Amino acid sequence: MLFRSSEWRVIWPDGNVHWLAGRFQVHKDTKGIPTRMSGVNFEITERKRIENELRLANEDLAQFAYSASHDLQEPLRSIKIFSELLASRYGAKLDSEAQEFLNNVREGAGRMEMLVRDLLAYNHASTSEKATEDVDANAAIQAAIANLAGAIAETGAKVDFDPLPHVRVQQIHLQQIFQNIIGNAIKYRRPGIPPVVRITVRRDDGNWLFSITDNGIGIEPQFKEKVFGLFKRLHRSDEYSGTGIGLALCQRIVERHHGRIWVESEPAKGSTFHFTLPTPSSSRE
Q: Is residue 233 part of the contact set for ligand ADP (CB under 6 A)?
A: yes
Stretch that binds ligand ADP, among 125-133, 166-174, 202-210, 234-242 (CB under 6 A): 234-242
Left (φ > 0), alpha (ψ -120 to 50) or beta: where does 146 sit? alpha
Q: Is residue 254 part of the contact set for ligand ADP (CB under 6 A)?
A: no
Please state, in angstroms and as integers, the Cα–Cα distance from residue 223 to each residue in 7, 19, 274, following that order: 40, 41, 16
Binding pattern for the stretch 50-89 against ligand ADP, x by CB under 6 A and - elsewhere? ----------------------------------------
DSSP string, 1-15: --EEEEEEEEE-TTS
Q: Is residue 210 part of the contact set for ligand ADP (CB under 6 A)?
A: no
Using CB under 6 A, which residues numbered 171 to 190 contact ligand ADP? Answer: 180, 184-185, 188
Q: How far apart are CA 212 and CA 214, in angstroms?
A: 7
Among 242, 261, 275, 276, binds ligand ADP (CB under 6 A): 242
Q: Is residue 244 part of the contact set for ligand ADP (CB under 6 A)?
A: yes
Q: Can you say how many angstroms the Cα of residue 252 is from the centroid of all Cα atoms in its chain?
A: 4
Cβ within 8 Å of residue 119, ≥6 positions away: 65, 68, 69, 243, 245
Q: Of 47 and 235, which CB lies nearer to ligand ADP in the complex structure? A: 235
Half-sphere exposure of 108 toward its Cβ, with a 13 Å CA cutoff? Answer: 9
Q: Is residue 243 part of the contact set for ligand ADP (CB under 6 A)?
A: yes
Q: Of 148 and 185, which CB lies nearer to ligand ADP in the complex structure? A: 185
Cα angle 173-178-182, degrees, rounded to a multiple of 5: 150
Residue count, binding to ligand ADP (CB under 6 A): 22
Q: Is residue 120 part of the contact set for ligand ADP (CB under 6 A)?
A: no
Stretch that binds ligand ADP, among 67-75, 91-99, 157-165, 239-247 (CB under 6 A): 239-247
The least distance separating ligand ADP from the CB of residue 218, rounded to whole angstroms, comes to 6
Count each helix (H run) and each strand (E run) in the chain, helices first: 6, 10
Among 121, 169, 227, 253, binds ligand ADP (CB under 6 A): 227
Phi, psi at residue 259, to the nearest 5°? -100, -175
For ligand ADP, the binding residues (CB under 6 A) are 180, 184-185, 188, 214, 216-219, 227, 232-235, 242-248, 271
